[in-house]
Amino acid sequence: MGRAPCCNGEHAGLKKGPWTHEEDEKLKAFVLAHPSTSWRLVPQKAGLIRCGKSCRLRWMNYLRPDIRRGNFSPEEEELIIQLHSAVGNKWSVIASQLPGRTDNEIKNLWNTKLRKMLVLKGINPMTHQPLCNPLLSDYVKQCLRSIEHMLISRFVGPPPLAGGDGDAHHSGSPLGDFPPSSFIPPLPSIRRRRRRRSPVASSELKRRQRRLHVRSNLSWLR
């Protein structure tokens, strides 16, 4: 069975939409005076024509006196990333570890900034693992290091001998500026799954091979 809906639909004329200043003051005064009251009873006792869930969200996300306003610090952003890698999109759990921050603003920060920041760094924001194949990533790094060493040895090498042709060291070909194959490390082997042939395809292949064998024998006899 699912969770029972808030207020169980007992008030068909519940007010929805933006909260007014008068409603905020009523809710704030009542919750501060009676902090242990069940949220289902708050609207009736506070004189509000609102759902209990709406009152709770309004208090938790906007009216709490301990809410911290302003931008998140780099330390808070790093903590959110670490917590997200451990618990995923459980924003209320993450908010419990950041005093004064609400789950709603943490969720908004994740969707508007932190998730994109991880993607730009090559990290999957859902799994927090590298986006590319680690073998190919290491291979690309090796290639870049090899090319860097080649360029250093070519352009920072000893000066040409006196009287010699200064252009003798260059091939004159457009490909002369590219590193030779000896500078590039071998591509790492990546296993590929072999496709299994169906029984029908295998039998058809065998029949073709037998026909070719017979034809070759006949041509040899002729």
Threshold 0.85, pTM exceeds: no
**59 and 75 within one domain:** no
**123 and 99 within one domain:** yes
Identify whether 79 is part of a domain: yes
pLDDT in tens, 179-214: 555 555 565 555 555 555 555 566 777 777 776 665
**25 and 50 within one domain:** yes
Identify whether 144 is part of a domain: yes
Q: What is the mean pLDDT of the chain?
A: 77
When divided into structural domains, the chain yields a total of 2
pLDDT in tens, 85-133: 999 999 999 999 999 999 999 999 999 999 999 988 888 888 998 876 5
**79 and 120 within one domain:** yes
Residue 27 or 221, more confident: 27
pLDDT in tens, 34-80: 999 999 999 999 999 999 999 999 998 899 998 988 999 999 999 99
**147 and 77 within one domain:** yes
Identify whether 26 is part of a domain: yes
Identify whether 168 is part of a domain: no
User: Which residues span the domain enclosing 44?
Assistant: 15-63
Asked if the model's pLDDT at residue 135 lies above 70, the reply is no
**80 and 147 within one domain:** yes
**132 and 113 within one domain:** yes
**102 and 55 within one domain:** no
**43 and 99 within one domain:** no
pLDDT in tens, 69-94: 899 999 999 999 999 999 999 999 99
**29 and 79 within one domain:** no
Identify whether 175 is part of a domain: no
**143 and 77 within one domain:** yes
Identify whether 108 is part of a domain: yes
**102 and 38 within one domain:** no
Q: How far is CA 94 from CA 8, 90, 125, in A?
A: 29, 6, 16
Identify whether 195 is part of a domain: no
The CATH number of the domain holding residue 112 is: 1.10.10.60
